[in-house]
Structures are given as C-alpha cells and as structure tokens.
Amino acid sequence: MDKLEGKVAIITGGAGGIGKAAANTFISEGAEVIIMDLDEDSLIKTCEEIGSNRISYFVGDVTKPDDNNNIVELAKERYGGLDIFLANAGVAGDITTIEEYDEDQFDHVMAVNAKGPFLGLQSAIPAMKLRGGGSFIITSSTAGVMGTPSIAPYGMSKHAVIGLMKSAAKECASMNIRVNTVNPAPVETDMMRLLEEGMTSEDKKDVKADIESSIPLGRYAQPEEIAKLMLFLASEDSSFITGSVYMADGGSSS
C-alpha cells in the first residue's frame, strides 16, 4: 500500500466524485494530496470525509493561470515539490443542439475542460522537472473518442485534451514527465445526475436505464474504479507509458 510513498499530488475538481475517490486512493498509497475546486465548503467537506492529515485544499479556478501557478507553489512550499497532477476538473455544459447552443456556455465548457489542463501543464512542468519527472493525467471521456449529440461542445473539449496529451507526451518525454488521459464512460457522480435531468422528457423517463443499456457491462462505473486506473498512471507501475488514451468505459467504445 505504498505505491505513491513520498509523492505529492494535485487533483483539480477534487471535491467531485472522481476527484474525491482519486484523492482517497492516492492518500491510501502514501501520497500527500492537495485538492482544488471552486467551492470551499465542498472542499472542506471532502477533506473531512477522507479524514487524513495527508490532504489539504486550495480554492481556485482552473481557467486562471495564477490559480494554477499558486497551487503548484503551495505544493512546493508545503510538501517540497510536485510529482503528480490530475487535471480532473470538468463541466458538462448545456444539453441542446449545436444550432441552439449559447456561445458563452460554449466558451465556459472549453475554458474549464480544455484550457484548464493546458494551464495545469504550464504550471506543473517546471515543478516536475525539479523532481526529475512526474505524471500528468487528464480526465477525458468516452466523448473524447466518440460523437456526442446534444453535448457537442463537451465532446469537442474532451477530444481536444487528447490532442493536448499526445503533444505534451512527446514534448515532455525528455524530462521524464509522462502524460496520459483516462476516458470514463458514465460514472456514478453528481455530474451524471445533472445530465440525466437534462435528458429527461415525458416520453423518456428512465434516462439512466437507457444509458446503461448502451454500455456492454450494463452499468455506470463507480468513482473508485476510475481512481484505480488513475493510481496506475500516477505510480511507477506505468513508468514506460506516456501518450496513451486509457478507456474505462465498460466496453462502450469497443
């Protein structure tokens, strides 16, 4: 239970379902973890629920360069450096057609889901170089490799981070910084509850059952299942893996 002993990790979107599961998993394997999110109350609640002296939080916005820089500086000051950056913050955006999609909402989705990981890389790379390398993991989605009607900007943003990851993996290889994406199918999180609500109509009441029927394994993933894959990519078990798309989708993309 010490795959991340001596490692320092930042997790954005740390108060959400996947972020919380990843923080708990990383801590159980010996890491020091800083979680970042917009809402302080949610961050405090997450820290209290995990109940470890290895976790702390930072209130910040992934779309702001200063916030990305400041959390990396905090990791260096508090724990001595940075080894793992999980760019997990994300928003689904509106559920509507391309024709009717609001431009401001489009910009918001792209800023959080695509610009956020880019800014995270900019801040993390110098700190990881000082440690002789590191692992940068981006949460993408099955929507990063498949078409997504009614949430096109979300799908666009999740495709975009795969392109970012592939470019960064080649650029950072000489620094021993590995970059990969994790691409989940629907996960039992609050984000999925919001998506289900947005997709519900009078003639389609059980949206979750419809979605699950399209997944070969017949169910949503649990956040802990996604976190275990993230642990693999964060640890030295994946020391020769970079530039890869890791599907955690119950067979949806097969």
Residue 234 CB burial class (10 angstroms; 0-12, 13-18, ≥19)? buried
Distance of CA 152 to the CA centre of its chain: 19
Are 116 and 39 in contact by the 8 Å Cβ rule? The answer is no
CB burial of 102-114 (b: ≥16 within 10 Å; e: otherwise) equals: eeeebebbbbbbb
| Torsion angle, alpha carbons of 105, 107, 109, 112, to 10 | -130
Which of 57, 154, 220, 246 is labelled catalytic? 154
Helices (H), the chain: 17-28, 40-50, 65-79, 103-110, 116-130, 152-172, 190-199, 207-213, 223-234
Helices (H), 36-151: 40-50, 65-79, 103-110, 116-130
The residue written with tokens 């649990």 in the block is 222
To the query of whether residue 79 is one of the catalytic residues in this protein, the response is: no
- Token code pair at residue 210: 């419809």
Nearest partner of 140 among 193, 98, 65, 87, judged by Cα: 87
Nearest partner of 57 among 25, 11, 4, 125, judged by Cα: 11
Nearest partner of 230 among 24, 47, 41, judged by Cα: 24
* Active-site residue list: 154
